Amino acid sequence: MKAGPRLYVYWISLVAATSGLLFGFDIAVINGALLLLKQQFRLDEVQTEFAASALLVGCVLGAAVGGWLSDRFGRRYVLKLCAILFALSSLGAAIPRNLVEFAIARFAGGIAIGTASLLAPLYIAEVAPARIRGRLVALNQMTIVTGILLAYFVNWVLSYQGPSSWRWMFATAAVPSVFFLCALFFVPESPRWLVEKDRETEARGVLERVGNLAELDAIRATIAEESGSLKDLWQPGFRKAFLLAVALAVLQQWTGINTVLFYGSIILKDHVGGQGDSAAIGANVLVGLVNFLATIVSLFWIDRYGRKPLLIGSAAGLGLALAGMAFVFRMQPPPGALVVGLMLAAVAFFALGLGPAVWVLLSEVFPTKIRGRAMGIATVSLWMACTILTMTFLSIASKLGPSGAFTLYALFNLLTVWIVARFAPETKGHTLEEIEHFWRART
């Protein structure tokens, strides 16, 4: 690519990927803030779960309607709405007088996250030329883990400002939200959406600007193929692909990683002796850093070693780390350094495989004519599973003890290893058409 088009494509991708940073920040900021919020509002376990999961309920709704909204109004327009919701929800979560007001603000932010989780990678993929599409879509995953790391760091720094510092933790996300909104006025609409709406002249202009005019005919052909209905998901062969995708989406969450990402501070403060608020929150900076570094490694490994080996190794390693946590929490008191070490191992194993590889497989296993709608169902299933996990972890840990809870999640990792080994195809190096033919052959 020439320098001009290349820089323009990277600018477009960076702007879209900013939603990933906000996505990561908003889902992770609850980790440290929840510890202080719980104390100030005197929340019990169920109320704490409600506070943590309000965002995720919104994610389910956002993922359910995001595709329809973007098909009707355009990718860029809906991303602007997401930016506004990000900003308003960040400020709303910073000024509540009670739990209900807090939950409403977080629910609104969840709608933005659920919608952006679909649209940002979709928008990047529709604008970027094929030869650099992979690395640019991966940029969105990197901004998500960067947002998580940033949230943990901000939480730690602000935690020294006193019991009400959780309000500033949420408010800080308004700054990148405003930048995201302003930057969206300087990027184009998706050329693929423009072609769908018979605005081919505008689409041609965008493709020329990004040095990708040759793909105009391919866009027309792909749109012509996308005429299937959801009934096609139940055709022999494709039904197996659909069930596998939904199972992986659900199990990615039920393998238990979000118990660490969302409740890490509470785990350390309530179940590990001698941990102050700032120390418990500060330990999560290490969690975010490991998550960030392991994600970088996964981006190099996923096309080198394949999706299937990474998924199996990731689930097996995560299961062992959680089994180790189950064993350690039988000690009284659990050794803090060992708990943190096992939490870091769990995050590293997840980021190396289950984190990125599940999303890659979800984008690959469906037939072209129903890929968008099927991906939407799988994404909604993922967010629903995440919500269920978040709404039940503290209650399960209260009834079974932390040891029993982590044993349960370790078993889900064992189930994941079996499902991937038994049913998942290896898609590395295969075109989408070859993957579709693979499923047709399994009728």
Q: Domain ranges in the chain?
A: 9-187, 232-443
Residue with tokens 């993929």: 125
Instruction: Give the right CATH number for 9-187 from 3.40.50.1370, 1.20.1250.20, 3.10.20.740, 1.10.1200.10.
Output: 1.20.1250.20
Burial class (CB in 10 A: 0-12, 13-18, 19+), 411: middle
| Residue 160: φ, ψ to 5° | -80, -5
Name the DSSP letter for residue 40. H
Say how far apart CA 222 and CA 31 lie, in whole Å: 42
Could you tell me the pTM of the whole model? 0.81
Over the Cα atoms of the chain, what is R_g?
22
Say how far apart CA 124 and CA 116 lie, in whole Å: 12
Say how far apart CA 368 and CA 233 lie, in whole Å: 11
Name the DSSP letter for residue 368. G
Short-list 285, 38, 290, 291, CA closest to 166 = 38
DSSP labels, 138-172: HHHHHHHHHHHHHHHHHHHHHGGG-TTHHHHHHHT
Say how far apart CA 320 and CA 394 lie, in whole Å: 21
From first to last of its 443 residues, the chain has per-residue pLDDT tens of 565 787 888 898 889 888 889 988 988 888 778 878 888 888 888 888 888 889 889 999 998 888 888 888 988 999 999 999 999 999 999 999 899 999 999 999 999 998 988 888 878 877 877 666 666 766 777 888 899 889 888 888 888 888 888 899 999 989 999 999 999 999 999 888 898 888 988 989 988 888 877 778 777 876 776 655 667 777 776 788 888 889 999 999 999 988 888 777 777 776 665 556 677 677 778 888 998 899 888 878 887 888 899 999 999 999 999 999 999 998 888 887 888 899 999 999 999 988 888 877 877 777 766 666 777 788 889 889 988 998 898 889 889 988 999 999 999 999 999 999 998 888 777 766 677 777 777 66
Q: How far is CA 131 from CA 1, 134, 136, 137, 215, in A?
A: 9, 8, 10, 12, 12
- What angle do helix axes 432-440 and 238-254 make, rounded to 10 degrees? 110
Neighbours of 433 (CB within 10 A): 10
Q: How far is CA 85 from CA 22, 360, 397, in A?
A: 11, 27, 33
Q: 232-443 belongs to which CATH class?
A: mainly alpha
Q: How far is CA 379 from CA 18, 242, 262, 349, in A?
A: 20, 12, 19, 22
> Is 124:13 a contact under the CB 8 Å cutoff?
yes
- What angle do helix axes 336-349 and 257-271 make, rounded to 10 degrees? 170
Task: Kindly state the tokens that stand for 58.
Answer: 């919104």
Q: Do domains 9-187 and 232-443 have the same CATH topology?
A: yes
